[in-house]
Amino acid sequence: MAYFERTAANTFRATTHVGGAWKTDEQHIAPALGLLTHAVERDRDDRRDDGLVVGRVSFDILGVLPLAECDIDVTVLRPGRTIELVEAVLSHDGRAAVRMRAWLMQIRPTDAVAGTSLSRIAPPEECEPWDPTTVWPGGFIESVEVRRTLTEPGRGVFWVRTPLPLVADEKVSDLASAVGLFDIANGMVTRADPGAVAFPNLDLTAHLYTEPRGEWVGFDTTVSFGADGLGLTSTVLHDVHGPIGTSSQILTVRPN
């Protein structure tokens, strides 16, 4: 079983493993973001063979998606020899639900200046297993393995991996698989009980300075709520080799 099954050239069916955390009969947006990334990479590989890599992915969440078939359309907004801006739109029944924009960039050797001051986090084996279904329902949450060290409400580090492929019977890159987990950041070190306060995110933007490798994705995450209904989930992203970039999600905070 996988998160999605391809049913036509640009059409995919969400399985029960995509079930949402806020509403279990709607899609959790995390796998959908990975699916859009997969579609962008497939489109790139169909058009060119020079190995542009994704440096930034930005997703605007325009609405909810049912556990049903959805379509993806990919458009090159800014073609180029060394840099491209590509847009992908995920829709259901003709209604756009997620709009993605990705910067694709040419790789070149920069080993001599490579480095970061972003701090490493403890590896997965040094974090305690944690069951996220104690806080969240839904098929997606049930499908993942989490190891977590919680510092305080709204602050902690954790690792996530999943045994399920993103798309059934298709080769998917480590990047697309990792992006399919990025959106989980908003729910793993909660600042408030989601039964008392809703805080869904409206977007997700990730900047990556190296491609993720391996099955584990690490998160060094801080959740902040303002006094006027806005919130922010900020994360330094990791693989087991160290930091790989950052992500952020703007939240709409709604006390129940």
Tell me the pLDDT tens digit for each residue of 135-190.
999 999 999 999 999 999 999 999 999 999 999 999 999 999 999 999 999 999 99
Q: SS3 sequence, the chain?
A: CCCEEEEECCEEEECHHHECCCCCCEECHHHHHHHHHHHHHHHHHHHCCCCCEEEEEEEEECCCCECCEEEEEEEEEECCCCEEEEEEEEEECCEEEEEEEEEEECCCCCHHHCCCCCCCCCCHHHCEEECHHHCCCCHHHHHCEEEEEEEECCEEEEEEECCCCCECCCCCCHHHHHHHHHCCHHHHCCCCCCCCEECCECEEEEEECCCCCCCCEEEEEEEEECCCCEEEEEEEEEECCEEEEEEEEEEECEEC
Residue 196: the pLDDT is 97
pTM: 0.97
Q: pLDDT band at residue 204, thresholds of 50, 70 and 90? A: very high
> What is the arithmetic mean of pLDDT over 70-97?
98
> What is the arithmetic mean of pLDDT over 68-83?
98
Q: pLDDT band at residue 251, thresholds of 50, 70 and 90? A: very high
Residue 250: the pLDDT is 98
> What is the arithmetic mean of pLDDT over 11-20?
98
Percent of the chain with pLDDT strictly greater than 90:
99
Residue 72: the pLDDT is 98
Residue 54: the pLDDT is 98
Tell me the pLDDT tens digit for each residue of 212-249.
999 999 999 999 999 999 999 999 999 999 999 999 99
Q: pLDDT band at residue 61, thresholds of 50, 70 and 90? A: very high
Residue 118: the pLDDT is 98
Residue 200: the pLDDT is 98
> What is the arithmetic mean of pLDDT over 118-139?
98
Mean pLDDT estimate for the chain? 97
Domains of the chain: 4-106+127-193 (2.40.160.210)
Residue 173: the pLDDT is 97
Residue 15: the pLDDT is 98
Residue 188: the pLDDT is 98
> What is the arithmetic mean of pLDDT over 122-147?
98
